Amino acid sequence: MQWNTAPVFDADFTELLSSSSGSVAVDIARPTNAIVFLGSTLASTGTSRHDNGDRDLAVGESATVRTSFVLPQGTYPLSIRMDTSRPSRSFAFTAAFVETLGSAVSTASGLIIGSNATLTPALDAVVFDFGIVNVDAGLANPPLAAVTISLLLNAVIDESAGAPGSVDGYDTRIRSRVTFGHSSTVVGVLQQFDVVEADLAVTTVNSSDVTLIDAGD
């Protein structure tokens, strides 16, 4: 905004030009990202070993996690990567697919409910590339379920030699990262695990004082 002082009627006066400005900013909503542990194949492993509170997983045990995203309305590229980001691999991802796709969400990639992720050569990383997504902007207050994507991932602690992180006490994790928008903004969340191994010992003793015996005894 610009304005002047009073118009000049006399040479002794100088007209002053003034200006002022103001602004407001709004943040464009970002996807929210959440990950939750749903269960594993062994009931006997809990959370008490190593890092207290982290889920314990034995070698060969499978865990299932759900990661879900509440998408803002608009049109933008969207990609979701699930990995472990650990220096030593312990997980092998065995299944990853789209569990739910909100009714207000349309994708250019053709990914639909039940579509599998793309497994990377790393074996512990998968990618869901939704391409350009459109989340219907015509809805004033869309229901949460209509703008939510959820993905299910099943991962097993791999016994093979190619998984040096499958050893007792190793901290591992499943990370979910959503990359969206033309500036490739990333939002990530983690689910932490401890690899656990049983260490059974066997001891043998002779009953009573039997050390010298005869044949047939």
Partner 1 sequence: MLTVAGAAYRVILVEVDSVQTYSIASPNGFSPSEDGVIARLDSLALATSASIEYTLQLVEGVEAGSTVTAIAGLRYASHPSVTSGTDYKREYATASSVQVTITTAELDISLSLASDAFATAADRFTSGTTVEVTVELVVPEGNTTDLVLNLDLTG
Q: Which residues bind partner 1 (CB under 8 A)?
A: 41-42, 44, 48, 58-62, 92, 94, 156-160, 166, 197-198, 200-207, 210-217
Instruction: CB nearer to partner 1: give 11 or 43.
Output: 43
Instruction: CB nearer to partner 1: give 45 or 148.
Output: 45
Instruction: CB nearer to partner 1: give 158 or 180.
Output: 158
Q: Which amino acid is at 198?
A: A
Main-chain dihedrals φ then ψ at residue 147, nearest 5 degrees: -115, 20
CB of 45 to partner 1, least distance (A): 9
CB of 125 to partner 1, least distance (A): 18
Strands 91-101 vs 32-40: parallel, antiparallel or unpaired: unpaired
* 8 A C-beta contact, residue 147 and residue 68: no
CB of 131 to partner 1, least distance (A): 30
Torsion of CA 132, 136, 141, 144, to 10 degrees: -50
CB of 96 to partner 1, least distance (A): 15
Strands 171-180 vs 148-157: parallel, antiparallel or unpaired: unpaired
Kindly state the tokens that stand for 211: 């050390």
Instruction: CB nearer to partner 1: give 62 or 79.
Output: 62
